[in-house]
């Protein structure tokens, strides 16, 4: 399988007063197409910084990031925006849904940004909402949805424009165990079905079993951990409803 | 993007309402100011506009219908009989001073009209008629000048330039730019009252044959009376209006207050849109993180500002229509033609687009990284 993301000797520091604090030091790694990579590390280790650079919203000091064959570290702001629009889907920690809009309209936003034909955009958005189990809530304003439902809307939105890469920063941080698991499982299933590469930043040990691979950031560098149960290519994760149910039961059993 | 723009706008109705009220205010102010200006300007040429002459012949240097200069009445003979000319009548615009009860004086215009054809005659009577103006010593006064002239009654005598005249008719709302009362009478009586020299009149009013080319006729007549000026009514009206506009600087004062209204509208709309943008900075940051560029942002804000412009315009136009229907004051006529309303609408739309630059500038500065980095 080919590498979708290649990071080489990436460095990033922030100005703190007169000095600079180094957050990423010579970080190098690569991600394969279809992989679901988890990025963990203690608070302040630079996970969000790294994800922001991958998401083309933050520039690195040095080093190179190549995504889908393009050297994104050399992009102009306009090229970055275009790349985000076409290639990247985001799931944010606090969802950042558009409060005046209903679920359907929220999911449509990335398609609208691409200038998609309204009817097609609607069909795609409805289809995604159905796949995150929110078909019946399509016309609800997002402020009238539960946190878990909102995150599922955000996941549907991240996939709407058919991006190659989905980036999620602590997507389960505001959710309880079940909702967090369900949301992430949904994300993983969708990415798997649509052949997307996903990078998930998390603090949440409970969802680590969903990872294909786990990278740990510490002291500005990376360590690889034996993360998920199965390697990505060997067997597709079976994440249909029955499995989800069994996990929920498992939780109940544990507690 | 339209859904985002409009739903975001209307989820905070107070800001949308404030912006719309600002637009409506601007539009009303512009229409009223423009309407008052046009009304005033129309008063500067009211004698011409209602006189129904096809061509005006006046003294060569005359530049205002009210401030007439004498020309020989005899020129009439040079113009009669010219092919295309149906009729020529003399017209007098003279000055006089009316002496009122208690010795108070009031300056007046004495307008000598041709009572036979009615050329140059009053067009709205409250009492009496054109026929009454044939009567010896007969003059009219206008409703708006009633108090100024000491509340004259029909049949009463008045003293004008030391001569006796009798009130026989009352016109209704005929008043000029400088609001000196217009007293209409027949041509001979006017000559007497205005003490104008024998054989002199102010204008010769031409009625042309039907379907005659007025431009051509004007040129022909001009050659006949080289020492006079021959005007088409609209030319003379424009000239009279321009005279007052230039002499009084009235255009500047109306322009300045209109501009002020525009500035107020601009400020209110810009402020509303800006406050709206500030309320949604995080959403704009998210939108930018999702890949929105300046073009998307500008379209969103433009949609919002044009919506405000549309709502405000509807509100404003309703008020203007009401004012148009209800406002009747011959001294301060408000003349709001459709083109003026259309121009006001176009202007407020332009103002709204201009106002959207402020929130655009703010949103442009948002760093999409803040969505992730907090
Ligand atoms: N704009 C900034 N200016 C200066 N320092 C910053 C800035 N943003 C982040 N940092 C610092 O960079 C380091 C890494 O921050 P980052 O947000 O990437 O960490 P993180 O791993 O995502 O932490 P958390 O798990 O708490 O979200 C932190 O020490 C933080 O204080
Ligand atoms: Mg973080």
Q: In this structure, which residue's CA is closest to atom 7 in ligand 1?
A: A14
So what's the pLDDT on residue A255? 35
pLDDT band for A219, please (50, 70, 90 cuts).
confident
- The angle formed by the CA atoms of residues A72, A75 and A80, to the nearest 5 degrees, is 85
Nearest to A81 among B3, B291, B373 (CB): B291
pLDDT tens track, chain B, 374 positions: 889 999 999 988 999 999 999 999 999 999 999 999 999 888 899 999 888 899 999 999 998 999 999 999 999 999 998 999 999 999 999 999 999 988 899 999 999 999 888 888 899 999 999 999 999 999 999 999 999 999 999 999 999 999 999 999 999 989 999 889 999 999 999 999 999 998 999 999 999 999 999 999 999 999 999 999 999 999 999 999 999 988 888 888 888 988 998 999 999 999 999 999 999 999 999 999 999 999 999 999 999 999 999 999 999 999 999 999 998 888 888 999 999 999 999 999 999 999 999 999 999 999 999 999 87
Cβ < 6 Å from ligand 1: which residues? A 14, 16, 23, 41, 43-49, 203; B 373
Our CA-based measurement puts residue A95 at a distance from the nearest CA of chain B, in whole angstroms, of 9
A109 contacts B290? CB cut-off 8 A: yes
A88 contacts B4? CB cut-off 8 A: no
Interface pTM (ipTM) of the complex?
A: 0.87
So what's the pLDDT on residue B52? 83
A173 touches chain B (CB under 8 A): no
A119 touches chain B (CB under 8 A): no
For A3-249, the fitting CATH number among 3.30.1340.10, 3.40.50.720, 3.50.50.100, 3.40.50.300 is 3.40.50.300
**pTM, 2 dp:** 0.82
B3 contacts A58? CB cut-off 8 A: no
Query: How far apart, in whole angstroms, are the C-alpha atoms of residue A159 and residue B363?
Result: 25
Listed residue (B40, B324, B325) closest to B177, CA to CA? B40
So what's the pLDDT on residue A230? 44
- The angle formed by the CA atoms of residues A217, A221 and A24, to the nearest 5 degrees, is 95
So what's the pLDDT on residue A226? 56
SS3 content of chain B, % helix, strand, coil (to 5): 55, 20, 30
So what's the pLDDT on residue A234? 37
Residue B127, number of CB atoms within 10 A of its CB: 16
Contact A1, A32 (CB under 8 A): yes
Query: What is the A173 CA–ligand 2 centroid distance (Å)?
Result: 10
Instruction: Scan for tokens 């922030």, then name that residue.
Output: A14
B303 touches chain A (CB under 8 A): no
> Is A248's pLDDT higher than 60?
no
Q: Which numbered ligand comes closest to the C-alpha of A40?
A: 1
Chain B residues inside the 8 Å CB shell of A86: 291
The string of pLDDT tens digits covering residues A131-175 is 999 999 999 999 999 999 999 999 999 999 999 999 999 999 888
Closest B-chain CA to A90 = B290
> Is A246's pLDDT higher than 60?
no
Ligand 1 closest atom vs CA A16: 4
Our CA-based measurement puts residue B296 at a distance from the nearest CA of chain A, in whole angstroms, of 7
Our CA-based measurement puts residue B298 at a distance from the nearest CA of chain A, in whole angstroms, of 13
A112 contacts B290? CB cut-off 8 A: no
Nearest to A57 among B8, B11, B289 (CB): B289
Closest B-chain CA to A158 = B290
Ligand 1 closest atom vs CA A47: 21
Query: How far apart, in whole angstroms, are the C-alpha atoms of residue A133 and residue A149?
Result: 9
In the structure encoding, which two tokens stand for residue A25, read together? 């030091």
A108 touches chain B (CB under 8 A): yes
Size of interface A-B (CB pairs under 8 A): 84
Chain A residues inside the 8 Å CB shell of B277: none
Helix ranges (H only) for chain A are 47-54, 77-87, 103-113, 118-131, 147-160, 177-194, 241-254
Concatenated DSSP letters for B90-134? Answer: EEEEEEEEEE-GGG-EEEEEEEEE-TTT-TT--S-EEES-GGGGG
B4 contacts A109? CB cut-off 8 A: yes
A110 contacts B289? CB cut-off 8 A: no
Q: In this structure, which residue's CA is closest to atom 1 in ligand 1?
A: A14
So what's the pLDDT on residue A221? 87
Ligand 1 closest atom vs CA A50: 18
Q: Which residues contact B312 (CB under 8 A, 6 or more apart)?
A: B19, B20, B21, B22, B23, B24, B26, B27, B269, B348, B352
The string of pLDDT tens digits covering residues A4-59 is 999 999 999 999 999 999 999 999 999 999 999 999 999 999 999 999 999 999 99
Q: In this structure, which residue's CA is closest to atom 29 in ligand 1?
A: A44
Nearest to A169 among B1, B8, B372 (CB): B372
Boundaries of every domain in chain A: 3-249
B296 contacts A96? CB cut-off 8 A: no
Chain B residues inside the 8 Å CB shell of A200: none
B293 contacts A101? CB cut-off 8 A: no
B338 touches chain A (CB under 8 A): no
Give every strand in the sheet of A3-16, ordered side by side. Answer: A19-32, A3-16, A62-67, A70-71
Chain B residues inside the 8 Å CB shell of A100: 4, 7-8, 10-11
Nearest to B11 among A58, A96, A100 (CB): A100
So what's the pLDDT on residue B331? 82
Query: What is the A54 CA–ligand 2 centroid distance (Å)?
Result: 14
Which of B290, B294, B298, B374 should be substituted to probe chain A, the one whose Cβ sees the most A Cβ atoms within 10 Å?
Answer: B290
Closest A-chain CA to B288 = A81
Closest A-chain CA to B285 = A96
Our CA-based measurement puts residue B373 at a distance from the nearest CA of chain A, in whole angstroms, of 7
pLDDT band for A241, please (50, 70, 90 cuts).
very low
Listed residue (B55, B130, B126) closest to B88, CA to CA? B55
Q: What are phi and psi of A251, to 5 degrees?
A: -60, -50
Query: How far apart, in whole angstroms, are the C-alpha atoms of residue B129 and residue B133?
Result: 7
Listed residue (A198, A200, A204, A213) closest to A179, CA to CA? A204
Which of B283, B372, B373 should be substituted to probe chain A, the one whose Cβ sees the most A Cβ atoms within 10 Å?
Answer: B372
The string of pLDDT tens digits covering residues B80-123 is 989 999 999 999 999 999 999 888 999 999 999 998 888 888 99
So what's the pLDDT on residue A253? 37
């Amino acid at each position: 399988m080919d590498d979708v993301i290649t990071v080489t000797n990436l460095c990033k520091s922030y100005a703190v007063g007169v000095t600079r604090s180094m957050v990423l030091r010579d970080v190098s790694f690569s991600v394969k197409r279809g992989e679901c990579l988890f990025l963990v590390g203690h608070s302040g280790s630079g996970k969000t910084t790294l994800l922001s650079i991958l998401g083309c919203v933050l520039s690195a000091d040095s080093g190179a990031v190549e995504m889908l064959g393009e050297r994104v570290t050399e992009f102009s702001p306009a090229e970055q925006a275009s790349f985000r629009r076409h290639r990247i889907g985001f799931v944010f920690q606090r969802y950042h849904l558009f409060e005046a809009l209903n679920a359907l309209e929220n999911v449509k936003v990335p398609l609208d940004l691409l200038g998609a034909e309204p009817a097609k955009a609607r069909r795609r958005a409805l289809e995604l909402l159905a796949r995150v189990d929110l078909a019946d809530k399509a016309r609800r304003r997002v402020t009238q949805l539960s946190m878990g439902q909102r995150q599922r809307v955000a996941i549907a939105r991240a996939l709407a424009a058919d991006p190659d890469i989905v980036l999620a920063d602590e997507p389960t941080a505001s959710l309880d165990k079940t909702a967090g698991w369900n949301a992430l499982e949904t994300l993983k299933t969708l990415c798997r079905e649509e052949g997307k590469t996903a990078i998930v930043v998390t603090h949440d040990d409970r969802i680590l079993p969903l990872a294909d691979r786990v990278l740990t950031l510490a002291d500005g560098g990376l360590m690889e951990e034996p993360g998920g149960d199965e390697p990505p290519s060997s067997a597709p994760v079976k994440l249909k409803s029955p499995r989800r149910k069994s996990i929920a039961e498992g939780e109940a059993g544990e507690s | 993007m339209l859904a985002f723009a409009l739903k975001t706008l209307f989820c905070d109705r107070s800001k949308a309402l404030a912006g719309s009220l600002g637009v409506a205010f601007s539009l009303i102010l512009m229409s009223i100011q423009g309407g008052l200006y046009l009304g005033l300007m129309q008063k500067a040429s009211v004698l011409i506009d209602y006189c129904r002459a096809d061509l005006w012949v006046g003294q060569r240097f005359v530049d205002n219908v009210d401030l007439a200069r004498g020309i020989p009445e005899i020129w009439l003979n040079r113009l009669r009989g010219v092919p295309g000319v149906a009729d020529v009548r003399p017209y007098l615009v003279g000055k006089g001073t009316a002496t009122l009860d208690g010795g108070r004086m009031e300056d007046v215009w004495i307008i000598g009209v041709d009572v036979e054809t009615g050329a140059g005659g009053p067009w709205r009577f409250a009492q009496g008629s054109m026929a009454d103006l044939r009567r010896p010593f007969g003059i009219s006064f206008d409703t708006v000048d009633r108090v100024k002239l000491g509340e004259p009654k029909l049949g009463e005598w008045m003293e004008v330039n030391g001569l006796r005249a009798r009130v026989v008719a009352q016109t209704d709302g005929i008043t000029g730019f400088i609001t000196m009362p217009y007293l209409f009478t027949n041509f001979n009586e006017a000559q007497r009252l205005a003490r104008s020299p024998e054989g002199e009149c102010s204008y010769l009013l031409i009625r042309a044959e039907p379907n005659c080319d007025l431009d051509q006729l004007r040129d022909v007549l001009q050659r006949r009376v080289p020492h006079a000026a021959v005007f088409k009514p609209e030319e003379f009206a424009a000239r009279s209006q321009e005279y007052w506009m230039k002499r009084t600087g009235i255009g500047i004062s109306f322009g300045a207050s209109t501009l002020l209204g525009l500035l107020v509208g601009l400020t209110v709309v810009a402020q509303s849109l800006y406050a709206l943008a500030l309320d949604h900075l995080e959403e704009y940051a998210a939108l930018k993180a999702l890949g929105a560029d300046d073009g998307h942002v500008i379209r969103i804000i433009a949609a919002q500002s044009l919506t405000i412009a549309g709502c405000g315009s509807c509100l404003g136009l309703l008020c203007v229509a009401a004012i148009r229907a209800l406002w009747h004051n011959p001294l301060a006529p408000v003349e709001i033609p459709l083109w003026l309303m259309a121009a006001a609408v176009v202007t407020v739309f332009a103002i709204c687009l201009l106002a959207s630059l402020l929130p655009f500038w703010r949103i442009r500065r948002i760093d999409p990284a803040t969505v992730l980095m907090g």
